[in-house]
Structure 1
Amino acid sequence: MCIMKYDVLIIGGGPAGIVTATTAKKFYPAKSVAIIKKEETSLVPCGIPYIFKTLGSVEADVMPTKPAENLGIEFIIDEVEDVDVKAKVVRTKGGKSISYEKLVFATGSTPVMPRIEGVEKKGVFTVSKNIEELRKLHEAVKKAEKVVIVGGGFIGVEVGEQIAKAGKKFTMVEMMDQLLPAAFDKEFARIAEEELKKLGVEVYLNSTVKRITGNSSVEAVELADGRKIEADVVIMSVGYRPNIELAKKAGLRISIGNRIWTDEYGRTSEKDVFAVGDCSEEKDFFTRETSRVMLASTATFEARIVGANLYSLKVVRVNKGTVGVFSTFVGDVALGAAGLTEEMAKKEGFEVVAGYGESLNRHLASIPGAAKTKVKLIFAKESGVILGGQVTGRYEVGEMVNQIAMAIQNNLTASEIDTLQIGTHPLLTSAPTTPPVILAAEDALRKM
């Protein structure tokens, strides 16, 4: 049997796999790099909710491979069924044997289908990353009159918002007492809830699903308290499970959080084998406990570290922990969050102070596009070090939350943020007298 040979072989063609490959090729241009993936066409994960309205089709969300191919990276369309880490050989369902110097697991995650009576009925879906599965969901939603989404996290909220904008009657069921509980405190979560309600969405909080009713097809969702919500499509959005079966079979160490164990450079328990993205272990930036964050932005940050450190350690490129940086757009409002919420920080034992800042995103209310921006920053009371932040406003929110994430990663204090030197412009930013991030730091300082 002929054995194919590559210096760097990556299993998985999502954001983590692509960025690992491109980073490796840039740092080690003489090395041959290949990505092996099951589907020829991959999707941009963050764009999936927008196939229902903004993008209009599944095909509009296809992830391009041309930039990677232009760097000399090869794509192998096949499925890996066995990895021999001692012989450094990967075997595929298509009968290929591929040897490697360095192997990277970027196998991603799969949506969870909860164990609820009736989930096998026609019309019950998860939000898959597989293009064929998404085509089926997209077509079903187009034909549907009443859609129920179970789960009020980011995917559920974003998919729901798009379905509501497409004119469908849509109901959201969330077991917690707020939407987006992993990223926002209640006061910011309520903003997202109100935006959904403006679109005609019914929101059921503190509610759990008992069963899906109907004959062969779904007809309703029955809640634990006996209420029934009519539906012809039900979307389960209750989280994702890391794809670690192949790694387990290969003998890699699995972490307590049921992901592939890695160190700060993405190295696994086996020599010359790395893991990155949703399938690999995440450590919280503050507590060093296992983090459940699964984001493309986190995956690509890790991928740059792994790709650069495959053959020699670049000491400045090390994973110090997952901050968790989120942003979304619901209705007419953008929301962003980074680090710990106030509630999470208190649960972890931090004594905290929260500061608030609010101003227009332009110098004058008469400037087109002017809108209110609100910032909340959370600081450790004694040291003044920033622990987290949340923002709501318009299009500036995405980069403002990145600014907060940078402050967190550099352990800035309220005093240092209060004295940041910034640039402003009437058409682009808040007035220099009222930058909301600095106002929030100033407010916290007064409370310390």
Structure 2
Amino acid sequence: MKYDVVVVGGGAAGIGFVSTALATYPKKKILMIKKEKDTLVPCGIPYTISTLDKVESDIMSTKGIESAGAEVLNDVVTRIDPKSKKVFTSSGKEFEYDKLVLATGSNPIVPKIPGVDLKNVFTVPKDINQIKNLKEALSNSKKVVVVGAGFIGMEVSDELRRAKKDVTIIEALDRVLPVAFDPEFSEEARKIMENEGIKIKTSSKVKEIVGHGKVEGVLLESGERVDAEVVILSIGYRAESTLAKEAGLSIGISGGIWTDEYMRTSEMDVFAIGDCAEHKDFFTRRANKLMLASVAAFDARIAAANLYNLKLIRQVKGDLSVFSTSVGGFIFAAAGLDETDARNGGFDVEIGIANSVDRHPATIPDTSKVKVKLIFSKSSGVLIGCQMMGGKSVGEMINVVGTAIQGGMTVADLTTLQIGTHPLVTASPVVYPLITAALDAYAKLNCKEK
């Protein structure tokens, strides 16, 4: 059977692509092939532990794209042949395509240490059955060790605390959230977690997971042993590019599938989007391993809009990291470069700091304190990064910053930013956090110029 478009994968990238493609090319015949009947919302997986009543509450439905005309098949693609333009599945089916889109996602990294195969050792995949197994194991356990203090590790640990578990985080680097935030924000996150009763061991590496058939503890390289009934490995993800490799497509240095600016691979009429594709840094154009649902959705829109011809010219040539996470009820968010990476990358920077609140007056009941750190190029004044923490308002405020970075806004642009405010929903226009932080940097730059 032949389709205009075959999509392999049904996560955020796949569903986002089909939605956009149907809007752009409504007469095209589209088939999505996905392994699982039910696909989880990636960012919601940690919250299936406690916040959500059941794992099924996190399912990402395909009903919308099916009602719009797409076909969805639950099967496993075992091989693609770009020369004959065919896709083959484990059930023995084969499909011809005009355009093929690979949205095969990523898989959790499993470290090569003794004991990873013991019962009650889990990763955090996007597989509903494995997450159900994890939740069942947790229901009968008290002591949990989480290996890795990145976004997923911290969010999982926060949820475990809510479920009244005895939680210990093991992190090889010297601080929590080490890749996304500068030390002062990492320290704030650590204090919050420790105040909630979570034990954190940084600069610590796991030597072995010990037990007899089932997990009993984790042995660190220092010789210390941490007792555990469940171990959750959260040390990152690796692009699932097997189909592409076996088909001879070019693979990038990060392990993801190489694409051009329009998500086209090295093979004619084959696209790659989401976690399986290699991404490039917004500022340096160097390959990176950026894996975010928001980036996957961006990839999907770019690929779908330009599927048959270049309708949407991509003027932003790199992928900007914009994200937020919840730590003990506080929101931590970042966009662009942090100060550490900026300086290591050769940028001469100036910093703007603001400590404010997100309502006015501050006596409004749901007011939260907000801390903002803006990072500017010292020579040009261009905004290159931001970190902030506070209440839920931070989750949207960081998107304003992401827009400002994409638009090449400068410190002067931000100090004259025109905004709308209201006492019940925003910070005061007099001390709006982003503008106040920009003014701080502006003053420093002007003083140095004199």
Shorter chain as normaliser: what TM range? Answer: over 0.9
Matched to 1:22, the amino acid is: S
Residue 120 (1) aligns with residue 117 (2): yes
Structure 2: which amino acid aligns with 1:241?
R
Distance between the aligned counterparts of 2:287 and 2:17, measured in 1? Answer: 22
Aligned-partner Cα distance in 2 for 1:380–1:302? 28
Q: Which residue of 2 aligns with 1:162?
A: 159
Q: Judge conservation of contact 1:110–1:128 (CA < 8 Å) in 2.
A: yes
Match of 1:109 in 2: 106
Letter in 2 for 1:57: K
Q: Is the 8 A contact 2:106 2:276 kept in 1?
A: yes
1:316 to 308, 313, 316: 313
In structure 1, what is the Cα distance between the partners aligned to 2:363 and 2:35?
53
Counterpart of 2:175 in structure 1 is 178
Q: 2:229 aligned with 1:232, yes or no?
A: yes
In 2: Cα distance, 1:13 partner to 1:332 partner: 31
After superposition, residues 22-61 of structure 1 pair within 5 angstroms as 22-61=19-58
Q: What TM-score, normalized by structure 2, do the two folds share? A: 0.98
d(CA) in 2 for partners of 1:239, 1:226: 25
Deviation at 1:286, TM superposition (A): 0.3
SS at match of 2:5: strand
Deviation at 1:318, TM superposition (A): 5.2
Aligned pair partner of 2:135 in 135, 138, 148: 138
Any conservation in 2 of the 1:261–1:269 contact (CA below 8 Å)? yes
Q: How far apart, CA to CA, are the structure 1 residues paired with 2:217 and 2:316?
A: 46
CA–CA separation in structure 1 for the residues paired with 2:400 and 2:389: 14
Aligned to 1:69: 66
Question: What CA deviation, in whole Å up to 9, does each residue of 1:344-386 have, x standing for no partner?
Answer: 0000000111101121110112211012111100001110111
Q: Which residue of 2 aligns with 1:222?
A: 219
Q: Which amino acid aligns with 1:19?
A: G
Counterpart of 2:193 (choices 193, 196, 216) is 196
Q: After superposition, give the CA deviation of every residue in 1:190-235 in whole Å (9 maximum; x if it has no partner).
A: 1211121122100001111111111111111111111110001000
Residue of structure 2 equivalent to 1:84: 81
| Counterpart secondary structure, 1:147 | strand
- Return the alpha-carbon distance in structure 2 between the equivalents of residues 408 and 202 of structure 1: 36
When the two chains are superposed, the root-mean-square deviation of aligned CA atoms in Å is 0.9
Secondary structure of 2:47 counterpart: helix
Alpha-carbon deviations, 1:11-39, whole Å to 9, x = none?
00000000111111100011011110111
TM superposition shift of 1:317: 3.9
Q: Which runs of 5+ in 2 are unaligned?
A: 446-450
- Equivalent residues in 2 for 1:287-366, closer than 5 Å: 287-317=284-314, 320-366=317-363
1:286 matched to 2:248? The reply is no
Deviations 1:108-164 (A, max 9, x none): 000011011111111111011111111111111111110000000000000110011
Structure 2 residue 148 is matched with structure 1 residue 151:
yes
Aligned-pair identity in percent equals 51
| Distance verdict in 2 for CA 1:319–1:412, change over 3 Å | closer
Q: Is the 8 A contact 1:302 1:319 kept in 2?
A: no
| Cα distance in structure 2, aligned partners of 1:378 and 1:231 | 41
1:394 aligned to which of 391, 396, 402? 391
What's the counterpart of residue 260 of structure 1?
Answer: 257
Structure 1 40/130 Cα, relative in aligned 2: closer, same or farther at 3 Å?
A: same
**Residues in 1 aligned to 2:283 and 2:274: alpha-carbon distance in whole angstroms:** 19
SS across alignment from 1:219: strand
The CA distance in 2 between the partners of 1:400 and 1:174, in whole Å, is 29
Are positions 1:437 and 2:450 aligned together? no
- Aligned residue for 1:254, secondary structure, equals coil
Q: Aligned partners of 2:368 and 2:259: how far apart in 1?
A: 44
Return 5+ residue gaps in structure 1 as ranges.
none
Distance in 1 (CA, whole Å) between partners of 2:149 and 2:180 is 12
Q: State how many pairs are aligned.
A: 445
- In structure 2, the partner of 1:93 is 90
